[in-house]
Amino acid sequence: MKNTLGTVQSIARLSRASSRDVEQYAVAFEGRLLALSEAYNLLTENNWVGASLEAVVKRTLAPFAGSDRLDINGPAIMLAPKTALAMSAVIQELSTNAAKYGAFSAPSGKLNVSWTLDESGRVHLVWTERDGPFVTTPTRKGFGTRMIASIFGNDAGWSVNLDFDRAGLRCVMRFHPRDEDRPAPKMAAAAS
């Protein structure tokens, strides 16, 4: 419970810092809380042993687009609870960005989310938007970009690449689905 309240406090603080007015803050904060709530619902349904990557992606995207605008595919992968929460937050931020500026901001826009499991046990997930407005590289890093970079920068073997291609945002993520699959952090050499 303490960790959950800490997460909500962080979401509130960071949402405030990236909002221009109260209305924008309320919308951003509510969307982030709903994504967190859906991730918790998935984990509760599975007795907190984890959640399927497909379920995390589909539930987080549900408020943004119907199945006619989505192409979601990949093998069945069970995410550890912490990874499921992190991926829910990342998908929420990408979806919000797509609704404001990308594929979901235009009636013709589409999204492909696909993933594979590589030989080292890491998930390789690719988010590709298309048929939306032309994309330009942002001039500043907003909350979502900073949060995604933070999530993927804190774990060994995790990486993210955001490509603001004119045809649509492409985000490539690599991460370990289970806590026990993550390599131990590298220790700094001891000073002699």
Residue 167 has pLDDT above 90, yes or no: yes
Tell me the whole-structure pTM to 2 decimals. 0.78
Instruction: Characterize the bridge pairing of strands 51-52 and 168-175.
Output: unpaired
Q: What is the CATH number of the domain that holds 56?
A: 3.30.565.10
Q: Would 148 be classed as within a structural domain?
A: yes
What whole-number distance in Å separates Cα of residue 173 and Cα of residue 162? 9
Work out how many domains the chain is built from and give that number. 1
Instruction: Characterize the bridge pairing of strands 110-117 and 123-130.
Output: antiparallel
Instruction: For residue 76, give the 3-state DSSP assignment.
Output: coil
Instruction: Characterize the bridge pairing of strands 70-73 and 110-117.
Output: parallel
**Per-residue pLDDT, 68:** 93
Per-residue pLDDT tens digits for 122-161: 999 999 999 999 999 988 888 788 888 888 887 788 999 9
Q: Would 190 be classed as within a structural domain?
A: no
Q: Would 186 be classed as within a structural domain?
A: no
Per-residue pLDDT tens digits for 70-117: 999 999 999 999 899 889 889 988 998 898 899 999 999 999 999 999
Contact status, residue 73 vs residue 125, Cβ threshold 8 Å? no
Q: Please report which confidence band the pLDDT of residue 17 belongs to, taking 50, 70 and 90 as the band edges.
A: low
Cα–chain-centroid distance for residue 166?
21
Instruction: Give the rounded percent of residues in the chain with a pLDDT score beyond 90.
Output: 44
